[in-house]
Structure 1
Amino acid sequence: MSLPVAFLAAVERLIPVTRRFDDPLSTLAFGTDASFYRLIPKLVLRVESEAEVVELLQLATIHQMPVTFRAAGTSLSGQAISDSVLIVLGDNWNGRELLKGGAQIRLQPGVIGAQANAVLAPLQRKIGPDPASINACKIGGIVANNSSGMCCGTAQNSYHTLAGMRLILADGSVLDSEDPLSVARFHASHGELLEQLAELGRQTRANTELAAKIRHKYRLKNTTGLSLNALIDYELPLDILSHLMVGSEGTLGFISSVTYHTVPDHPHKASALVVFPDVQSCCHAVTVLKSQPVSAVELLDRRSLRSVENKAGMPAWVKALSANACALLIESRAASQALLQEQLAQIMASIAHFPVEKQVDFSSDPVVYEQLWKIRKDTFPAVGAVRQTGTTVIIEDVTFPVEQLAAGVNRLLGLFDKHHYDEAIIFGHALEGNLHFVFTQGFDTPEQVARYSAFMDEVTQLVAVEFGGSLKAEHGTGRNMAPFVELEWGSDAYQLMWTIKHLLDPHGILNPDVVLSVDPQIHLKHLKPLPAADELVDKCIECGFCEPVCPAKGLTLSPRQRIVIWRDIQAKQRVGIDTTALEQAYQYQGIDTCAATGLCAQRCPVSINTGDLVRKLRARNAHHAGTANWLTGHFASALAGTRLTLMAANGARQLLGAPRLAKASSVLRSLSGNRLPQWTAAMPQAAKAIQISAPTDDPRPRVVYLAACVSRAMGPSFSDTEQVSLLDKTRGLLEKGGFQVVFPDDLDNLCCGQPFASKGYAEQADSKRQELINALLKASRGGLDPIYCDTSPCTLRLLQDGLDPRLKLHDPVKFIREHLLERLTFTPQQAPVAVHVTCSTQHLGEAQGLLDIVSRCTQQLVVPEGIHCCGFAGDKGFTTPELNAHALRSLKDAVQICEEGVSTSRTCEIGLSHHAGIDYHSLVYLVDRVTTARSAI
């Protein structure tokens, strides 16, 4: 059924075409969230203001159009998808405001949870909810799902730390609970609604049996159904309304801002891992730990430990554990080290009488701490990584009363065996009796769906009826548990939820079939296929954790969406459906605008680098092998041609002036069909040829300087305050540090192969890489001398796929950190410096090293929030400048107090300078400026 013409016409007047999507590629891409359901919206709208949401809801009410709200789409239970109108948050929902010295924080729904905590970190505060997806999920989703996490428990979730809320109801009316004028207006316009809510509260509190059930249910971690505790916890109807919105999953209204009471973020912490011989003793220990000063207690059954025992870095004892072992990962935090030590002694004394199979004592050592938490964090992706292609990973989320936890775990294990989920594992937040169980499931045949249905019927009966637990502890009801809400709550509570739904959404337009549904089979419908696409990405579980670091997200597709579309193309082709139009759209949306820098792999639970798929697809269209072969053999000539081009461009700039040249370049680019690059004032001048002298007998230690091809071709821009070439500046700094600088032979013909690899010419790329390695072996005297590469992407390219172990290769950060810090005296400048940590620096593990070095150079370091990849991506900044512009759209505001920025990649610096309005140059310029040689080495 198509959308009404009158509705579409009104929407077109309200939302610009650049923020309206109804084409097959976009609707499929946005029809996917982290759950195992899929609905394809008819229309996707990216909203940028509260006024737009108000008018859209008014239109939806008039035309009876169902709408669903989407923040990050990391929801696991199917609550962020729609087959009607999907409303997605744009960029302008990122406001945050500290209140009362950090005791409170006001946040808009587009703020990523980790960003909120970054604002609070200097004050040693944080928001209460701490979901595992906190680096990707947004405040809107955290509140709407009442998400919690490992340390949050029930006391620190959104419901219990809510200080205020601004919301929009289905009729478009706005209420700000912290604004007296807004409250007065709402009382005037919605007095009857408020009185009805107050009356529901009075009736519920008077119903002693129902009130007791509600109190019991929320003694547990519970997100099944609507937040009925609001009716017994509060008497004022405004308080009832705002707390009903928490956990409502977009079914009662839109949350446009929330104010949290923040909680302490104690700086001192330690973790221990205690392995018990069986589930019974492990769970009994949990009941003891419940009263101890612990911040987290994570349970891992033997299956979950077995899932990670063969992973790299896992201690050998994990594999040697007995068949029935069950572990607790325990963390304690405190405001001081002395208090922490007292707490640790108290905790261990409390469980000293339990039998223990293996114990890793409490440690604050970051290495030990990270290894212990890696065991816990790797369990979920471990199941995803080994699943059969075509199946999905399902993570269910239940709560048992903690005193019955052991029985609950054993009964769940029995259900796994009965239904042959042999790969299933259990882990969870044991203090709250909250267990996650993970298993793999196919939905391709009726038999597979029937198996899942039978299993879930038994799980829901076990948890909700036999144990009086909750079917959804923290992942939200969604459509996954909507058919079982009445089973868990009983008829009275269930009908009360429907009464609230009808009261706040009388036309049923807000996220239908989520939380409450009249369809008892809704959890078995719209199941998402995960067809084979390519072995490089088949393990993708579509969680969306990759999206915040993708420079193309919001311009075209995110890594998750690239995989979704490629899966669909492959599935359609296998059944003979014509995918020509979809592939044509995908060429730009999925391939041309992918930076392919691989940051997505760092956030992916199963380490998928979507850039690898994109490079593979580019190789299919790499039809200029002859040209690539010529370039490999005549690289110096190509480099000389690049210098000539840059000289010509600079000559045109001198003749026409920068503004006229920029305008003329824009016109020429448009006339060429965007094939010609866009000239900007940040465009480099041609680098002067480096003067290389033969090595001499010299008592100084030698360093081989590998100047990247971009450094050899591209000098500073005409407007840069630093006009000394990177080559000369680097050589000068190395010599200041007491090194003799030597260069590989035939330097202008050398290349790491990155330009070829990014275009899909893998054979030529590997040829150039090997040629360079051979030259470096010779120049370094068989690996005797360290090698300094002045560009981090080239360093990464050489280190990938394994480098000759004799070579000691350093990027600028590593070399300065390991070889120059002890040879130089730093006098930090007062002026602030912006830092861009390149993708390659992050992959090399040198991000913190870069920040530490810059901290020695300046009294004020600025790292722009939310810019993980600049999107320049080698030459994408020239050929696809909109990617660079989109990735850096917030940069200028973020660095306005700075006069310069530093990085470790010349091409990245071009785009950064252009979009920031300040000069970005290599780290070595800053280090050289603030250092002097130490008198004695």
Structure 2
Amino acid sequence: MSVSGHPRAYHELKTALAASIPSERLIDDPLRTLAYGTDASFYRLIPQLIVRVESEAELILTLAECHTRGLPVTFRAAGTSLSGQAVTDSVLILLSRAWRGHEILDDGAAIKLQPGVIGARANQLLVPFKRKIGPDPASINSCMIGGIAANNASGMCCGTAQNSYRTLRDIRVILADGAVLDTADSSSREAFRRSHGELLEALERLSRETLANPVLADKIRHKYRLKNTTGYALNSLVDFTDGIEILKHLMIGSEGTLGFISSITYDTVPDEPVKAAALAFFPDMATTCRATIALKKTLVSAVELMDRAALCSVQDKPGMPEVLKTLPEGTAALLIDVRGDDEAELESREAQVHAALEGLKTLEPLTFTRDQPTYELYWKIRKGLFPAVGAIRETGTTVVIEDVAFPIERLDEGVLALTEVFHKHGYQDAILFGHALEGNLHFVFPQGFEKPGEIERYQALMNEVAQLVGVEYGGSLKAEHGTGRNMAPYVELEWGADAYALMWRIKALFDPENLLNPEVILSRNPTLHLENLKPLPAADPLVDKCIECGFCEPVCPSRDLTLTPRQRIVIRRELARLEALGEQANDDDKARIEQLWSDYRYQGDETCAADGLCATQCPVSINTGDLIRSLRRERNVGKAGVARLVGRHFSGTTRFGRGALNMAAFGQAVLGDKGLIKVSQTLRKLSGERLPQWLPSMPRAASVKVLKRSVNRDDRIRDKVVYMPSCATRVFGANRDDQESRSVMELTLALLDKAGFEVIIPAMPGHLCCGMAFQSKGQFGEADHKARELNRELLAASQNGRYPVLCDTSPCTLRMRETLDERLVLMEPVNFAHDHLLPRLEITPVDECIAVHVTCSSTRMGLTDKFLALAKACSTNVVVPAGITCCGFAGDKGFSTPELNASALQGLAHQVKGCVAGYSNSRTCEIGLSLHGGIPYRSILSLVDRVSRSKEVVERKERVSEA
């Protein structure tokens, strides 16, 4: 159902807003309106205009201009919502990075957060205080506070006691008429009472009427004994009598239909540090539900239920316990999590669990684990269930997740009845899991809408599920995912006519024109949930299993510049859909295809770092960089000869690079930084953006003579290591103005000598390359050729893997691990220094503040903890900037697409202010980090060398002294 206005109205709106908001934040091109307008649900509506707001003033202006034209408005934070709350075919207000403010209050007892703060970031801020926010949705690493509050999201451990409604201290909201209320500010409250006294009196009157209706009041109390996000928070009318308190709590779970949450202050909850978990297997669902009811009386943090089908969906994934494959049919499992402030408290709570489950049959003895990897594996099983179905679904189908809650005392019969309903309608592939302690269950199943009869089958299922859960069992049709579009037609069925009429009265008080996110929560359209369904056509095997959840977005370096991995996939799918029309495509379709491909060149391709970090967050491990590299291969097929020429003369290529740096150094000496930047920008423009941009942080040229020098001249027997300097360190030397004047090669050789290693340099070091530079351009043939060359030389130098191989650049090491012989022991600077250098060196940490940048390749190789441990062994004060993931330099993107590097590192300088230097393990990354951090960034080996002495030398001196 369309709610948008006439196209002319949107043009007039954009013109009016352009007087105050920069045009680059007023988006109406076909590519980005589709990409930015897509959320995690199975609905598609394409906005007519997207407004990236950076302040309350801009948001109020946008609301006013939309109201003047009668245009509906929807607010969007992260877009991880599953029920269609964040899509519109009208005006979408998108939060920019300007909404990520935060303030710790009362020594961590409370935290004030703007809506653009990611949930996990809030908890990270509270770590020093041993506190956390109450809500803990499974998407907490991606979803934002605005969505968490607007949907009253809960999660694994949250229950009903620690959700946003219960832990809300204060809120700052902007209403449809532009009025601002900050409940933490007494002057704001008083001003609001004067300006909006009628609204507050009306809310207080609704409260009195509700309390005077004992049947309705009791029903409300019953409904919120359960997890419940269906409809508005009517419990605010029975929990409070003051108008401001009612308004404050009505905003929680209102899904942007009553106003905009500008900030929220949470009372935080304890984050108990000692944790353990057990995976308990029961012979059948009935026993599992009885166990859940028994555990309700214990002090457990979470109890997660999983049926046999759910366990089957993840049993073949890497790292899963073998026992999952051997469980009999009918088995169900509980993931039981217990936490405490210390070991004694944890043991006491474990004992409570054992006592509660005594007499109930389990397939294996119940055992708690404190082992961190095992603990994380158990939770990985649980959190991987929803996307696991997405990964194995038939291409072209979507994934539907239903989120219901039964009264806990009727959980076992409710589960049985619901399972029968799914089987009755042919949904044999549905899996069941959920937060069992609250009677909250998720049913997940693949659903196609293209084949005849599928929409009708889905409608019949939903009708029966709604009747069963909402009426017969008095449960919740939406326990924690918000009402959205897919449950709006059933709100009245669950709540009854009186409560439903009360909700419409609330909506009319706040939004009489029905312009704030219409058709969400309340709708008079009985088939709303069957309309505007998202197509998911086959596009590419690399990404067809994507369910568009958005988990990838927070780590993408282009997220604030162009597209994210999810959005790149959305556009690729749209192109596939249009191209599949073939001869049926009309002129408009053909023009759209041409325009999308043209815009995608920059938005999707040129600004993609292809770093693979998206795969680390993706529940089904999709590396969108592989998709982009594949597209580059298709586009650059005619350049294979050039790539081959460069690869066959690679020594000359690196010599040319060093020569260019020497020429740039001469130009800088003559023209100065500003002059050279201006000349570089002019030449780059004249070349059609093909020439690289000169950067003020451009280093000196490296000298490769160091590789030919004689090392380890003494006759001592030493351990051997093969040292493979990357092409980046063979080209780029130290920063021009840095106190550390040695190149990475010099640092590496000095450290290896100090630690007592005999160094082996492979033959033809100037010619060797891992192939990543070619792979990133889509030149896979030459990339593979260079990898084969390197493989041959490293096997020879290491005597077929007898000696470890150290590469001084992390991204190259990752590429080598992915392509070279498994016999080779391949290590990069952090791994090698942590495991092999620290034991051989005497370390005296410096008492100064340093910054650390964990590269994307280090993250992908699982080296984050070692990176931090190494840095903390060398310095007493280590800063890891928050929100800085991949730096976006991406080999040469920092030169060819410098805006990507600038966007990815926005805010870095502020976070590293006060640090004397920064350290990383990729030379090109360090160039961009130095530029945008405002401090020199060097190899981590520089820090290790600075703070270390050879233990062998120290011990020798001590023996001489004693003699």
TM-score range, shorter chain: over 0.9
CA distance in 2: counterparts of 1:78 and 1:475, whole angstroms: 10
Tell me the residue number matched to 2:841.
824
CA pair 670-116 structure 1, distance change in 2 beyond 3 A: same
* The 10-residue stretch of structure 1 (366-375 or 761-770) with the greater mean CA deviation from structure 2: 366-375
Distance in 2 (CA, whole Å) between partners of 1:460 and 1:328 is 26
Q: CA deviation at 1:61?
A: 1.9
Tell me whether 823-832 or 556-565 shows the greater mean CA deviation.
Answer: 823-832
Partner amino acid for 2:151? Answer: N
- 1:605 and 2:619 aligned: yes
Displacement of 1:842 after TM fit? 0.6
SS in 1 for 2:305: strand
Contact 1:690/1:727 (8 A) holds in 2: no
Moved more, 368-377 or 90-99: 368-377
How many angstroms apart in 1 are the aligned matches of 2:726 and 2:736? 21
In the alignment, which of 655, 658, 661 is matched to residue 676 of structure 2? 661
Q: How does 1:178-257 map to 2 (within 5 A)?
A: 178-257=184-263
Report if aligned partners of 2:613, 2:623 keep a CA contact under 8 Å in 1. yes
Cα contact 2:422–2:428 (8 A) shared by 1:
yes
The residue that corresponds to 1:917 in the other structure is: 934
Q: Could you tell me which amino acid in structure 2 is paired with residue 775 of structure 1?
A: E
Question: Who is 1:718 aligned against?
Answer: 736
- Which of the residues 884, 897, 904 maps onto 2:921? 904
What is the rounded CA distance, in whole Å, between the counterparts of 1:3 and 1:176 in structure 2?
A: 36
Q: Cα deviation per residue 1:894-928 (whole Å; 9 max; x = unaligned)?
A: 11111210011000001100111110010000110
User: Could you say which residue in structure 2 is the equivalent of 1:29?
Assistant: 35
Q: Within 2, Cα distance between the matches of 1:6 and 1:635?
A: 56
Show the counterpart of 1:788. Answer: 806
CA contact (8 A) 1:681 1:719 kept: no
Paired residue type of 1:893: H
String of CA shifts for 1:314-363, please: whole Å, max 9, x gaps: 22221221211111110111111111111111211111111111244011
Distance 1:359 1:449, change over 3 A: farther
Opposite residue 626 of structure 2, the aligned amino acid is: D
Find out whether 1:671 has 2:686 as its counterpart: yes
Query: Please, what is the CA RMSD of the aligned residues?
Result: 1.2
User: Structure 2: which amino acid aligns with 1:525?
Assistant: E
1:638 maps onto 2:653 in alignment = yes
Rounded to whole Å, the distance in 2 between the matches of 1:72 and 1:837 is 24
1:725-757 CA distances to partner (integer Å, 9 max, x unpaired)?
A: 111111001111111112001100000001110
Of 868, 878, 888 in structure 1, the residue corresponding to residue 905 of structure 2 is: 888
In structure 2, give the amino acid aligned to 1:611. Answer: G
Partner residue of 1:140 out of 129, 132, 146: 146
The CA deviation string for residues 363-400 of structure 1, in whole angstroms up to 9 with x for no partner, is 11113212222221222222111100000111110001
Alignment pair present for 1:411 and 2:425: no
Q: Which moved more, 1:383-392 or 1:356-365?
A: 356-365
Distance 1:448 1:134 in 2: 33
Greater shift, 45-54 or 444-453, is seen at: 444-453
Contact conserved, 1:720 with 1:919, CA < 8 A, in 2? yes
Tell me the amino acid that sits aligned with residue 596 of structure 2: L
Aligned to 2:960: none
Contact residue 785 and residue 808 of structure 1 kept, 8 A: yes
Measure, in 2, the Cα distance between the counterparts of 1:355 and 1:916: 59
Secondary structure of the equivalent of 1:358? coil
CA shift, 1:717, in A, is 2.1
Question: Residue type of the partner of 2:782?
Answer: Q
Deviation larger for 872-881 or 312-321: 312-321
Q: Is the 8 Å Cα contact of residues 272 and 359 (structure 1) preserved in structure 2?
A: no
Match of residue 7, structure 2, among 2, 25, 28: 2
Contact kept in structure 2, 1:694 and 1:742, CA below 8 Å: no
- Superposed CA offset, 1:520-549 (max 9, x none): 110000000001100000000000000000
**Cα distance in 2 for residues equivalent to 1:715 and 1:674:** 25
Q: State how far apart, in whole Å, the 1-side matches of 2:529 and 2:688 are.
A: 48
Report which stretch shifted further, 566-575 or 302-311: 302-311
- AA aligned opposite 2:805: I
Look up the match of 1:811: 828
**Deviation sequence 1:670-693 (CA, Å, 0-9, x none):** 233222222122112111123325
- 1:769-802 alpha-carbon deviations (Å, 9 max, x no partner): 110011011111221111110000110001114x
Which residue of the partner structure matches residue 303 of structure 1?
309
What is residue 3 of structure 2 aligned with on the other side?
none
Q: Which residue of 1 aligns with 2:381?
A: 375
How many Å separate the matches in 2 of 1:37 and 1:648?
55
Q: Who is 2:628 aligned against?
A: 614
Which letter maps to 1:134? I
Q: Which residue matches 1:758?
A: 776
**Residue identity in the other structure for 1:2:** P
Instruction: Please give the alpha-carbon distance, in whole angstroms, between the structure 2 residues aligned to 1:720 and 1:6.
Output: 53
Equivalent residue runs for 1:392-541 within 5 Å: 392-541=398-547
Q: Number of paired residues?
A: 936
Match of 1:748, SS? Answer: coil
Deviation at 1:698, TM superposition (A): 5.0
Structure 2 Cα separation of the partners of residues 751 and 472 of structure 1: 55
1:567 aligned to which of 570, 573, 593:
573
Structure 1: which 5+ runs fail to align?
none
Shift of 1:694: 6.8
CA contact (8 A) 1:681 1:717 kept: no
Aligned equivalents of 1:599, 1:53: Cα separation in 2: 33
State the partner residue of 1:704: 722
Q: Which amino acid aligns with 1:607?
A: S
AA aligned to 1:811 is: E
The code of the aligned residue for 2:694 comes to W
* TM-score, normalised via structure 1 length: 0.99
Helix, strand or coil at the partner of 2:355: helix
Distance 2:612 2:315 in 1: 27
Residue 479 of structure 2 aligns to a residue in which SS? coil
The 3-state SS of whatever aligns with 1:92 is helix
Q: CA offset at residue 446 of structure 1? A: 4.1
Match of 1:127 in 2: 133
Q: Does 1:834 align with 2:841?
A: no
- For the residue of structure 1 that corresponds to 2:721, the secondary structure is strand
In the alignment, what sits opposite 1:596? 610
Give the residue type in structure 1 aligned to 2:852: V
* Match of residue 853 from structure 1: 870
| 2:752 equivalent in structure 1 | 734
SS in 2 for 1:98: strand
Residues 68 and 511 in structure 1, CA contact (< 8 A), matched pair in contact too: yes
Separation in structure 2 between the aligned mates of residue 613 and residue 157 of structure 1, nearest angstrom: 39
In 2, Cα distance between equivalents of 1:605 and 1:411: 30
Counterpart AA for 1:850: F
Could you tell me whether the CA contact under 8 Å between 2:14 and 2:26 is conserved in 1?
Answer: no
SS in 2 for 1:554: coil
Which residue is equivalent to 1:56? Answer: 62
Determine the C-alpha separation between the residues in 1 that align with 2:314 and 2:561. 37
